A and B are shown apart, each in its own frame.
Chain A
């Protein structure tokens, strides 16, 4: 690897004691580098331990084995370097929108004056499009607005990495779409490194640069890392017209429907936990002139499998 990753999950394992003296292994020997400025999504079924991975990255849970390295240092717990957007937004109901964001800002820069803290908080409240709602309390906001506050709070501390645990799963489809647009815009503008847990294939395709596929749990492992072949300046509305769209989507769906289970039961014989296979599903290249009469072959998706 040419560039040193910002975050590196190295040989991390998580086990829980099970009744009868045994251990339930959530996952074992998990390796995953995340590069600076990259948007990584992790997809898998419930129970594959994806939330556990995120909690370990956040420092909220300690790994049973292995380590997480951030910027060359092993993490020892939660840190302001790693901001978390919680699934349930986790706003403090007794604080206003401004109060919630300012609480985070004040935690990050305790020495700064009140005016500066308010200014910083307001900057991020307007970044997520909530100007005018600063004085409202969470109970007065819709679900989407609450999650916007959660995003503003996480971004306001200017973290090295943003961790999101299915942040939009509790929202309706329309709100989810708008928030995905906002998150993509903000992450592209600020070059924010982001790690997101989801089980929504379309969300991952729209947002992620790389998609990490986890097999079913227990004893889950990273089956594959899918590189997103879609162009970087994609828009949600005409994403599905891109020739790479269906090959990618079919690949992900196939994985969730069948391979997530078969790969757990029978992992690839040459499986190397440190270097999971990297794939880039894409449409077959357009045939060069003259146009073939066999249109079907041009539509047929293919895939490059890279040796890492």
Chain B
């Protein structure tokens, strides 16, 4: 059994994680120089100044905080004190809205571009210019025109999810195997049936690849967007806890962001597997 690759990889992962935790623990457990000071001032400065203890939390502190969040993820005790689950929920909702809006636009438009060499050439310069723009650069414009910070965040997610899906859909549709199209032609298949029963299934794996790239980007961008717009969401939570100087909570949030991002990616990977068929 020890020869099975997944098992060995799993053991190695656990060992590496253990080493990482150990290194982390050692790195933050040392004491720095202390200075004599007024007790009132010392109270303000905290343990880092008085006992020389590192302000960086150790793995045990983070584990305790994480456990605290996990055991009560959905509390609301005011605008700046909500459970991690509530914050993540806000972020996921924003990402979902912006992302599905982008799907609704990118797939039909990508289809059109893929089907028509004329449209492909005509729209190419626009796509090439729009694609490299950081989605956050749209934020002021969105805030000014939409006049609503929540909707602006959704717009930013929309605009950043759009391009990978658009480009992949167009590419997938344009590169459907010629012989499948010839089958459709010799069977006198109508445009509608051809689009939905031949081109769409043939391009689906490529489209799903684009959707998977997009969900990754959307989840990256939502954190930054929420830091800007504030109010709710995991990005706001991170910034708020930074302002509280609660590094423990920041690290906890980072872990949560990573795990949610991985889950979103895996969902799309599963769907991609459902629509991919070997020949």
A: residues with CB less than 8 A from B are 58-60, 77-80, 82-84, 86, 88, 90, 92-94, 103-104, 107-108, 137-139, 157
Contact = CB atoms under 8 A, between A and B. Distances in A.
B187 A60 contact: no
Contacts of B188: 78-80, 107
B180 interface: yes
Contact of B277 (A93, A108, A157): A93
Q: Which residue of A78, A94, A104, A157 has the most chain B CB atoms within 10 A of its CB atom?
A: A94
B177 to A, nearest CB: 8
B233 to A, nearest CB: 38
B186 interface: yes
Contacts of A107: 187-189, 193
B254 interface: no
B198 A84 contact: no
A94 B275 contact: yes
Contacts of B183: 84, 86, 90, 92
Given A90-B182, A92-B198, A157 B278 contact: no
B264 interface: no
B179 interface: yes
A60 B179 contact: no
A228 to B, nearest CB: 28
Contacts of B73: none
B185 interface: yes
Given A139-B278, A139-B279, A92 B187 contact: no
Nearest to A157: B187
Majority-rule SS of B interface residues: helix
Contacts of B185: 59-60, 77-78
How big is chain B's contact interface, by range?
20 to 34
A83 B186 contact: yes
Contacts of A59: 185-186
A88 B204 CA distance: 22
Given A92-B198, A93-B277, A139-B277, A78 B186 contact: yes
Contact of A138 (B186, B202, B279): B279
Given A90-B179, A90-B180, A94-B201, A84 B186 contact: yes
Nearest to B193: A107
Interface in B188-229: 188-189, 193, 197-198, 201-202, 204
25 contacts: A59-B186, A60-B185, A60-B186, A77-B185, A78-B182, A78-B187, A79-B188, A80-B186, A80-B187, A80-B188, A82-B186, A84-B182, A86-B182, A90-B177, A92-B180, A92-B201, A92-B202, A93-B277, A93-B279, A103-B187, A103-B197, A107-B188, A107-B193, A138-B279, A139-B278
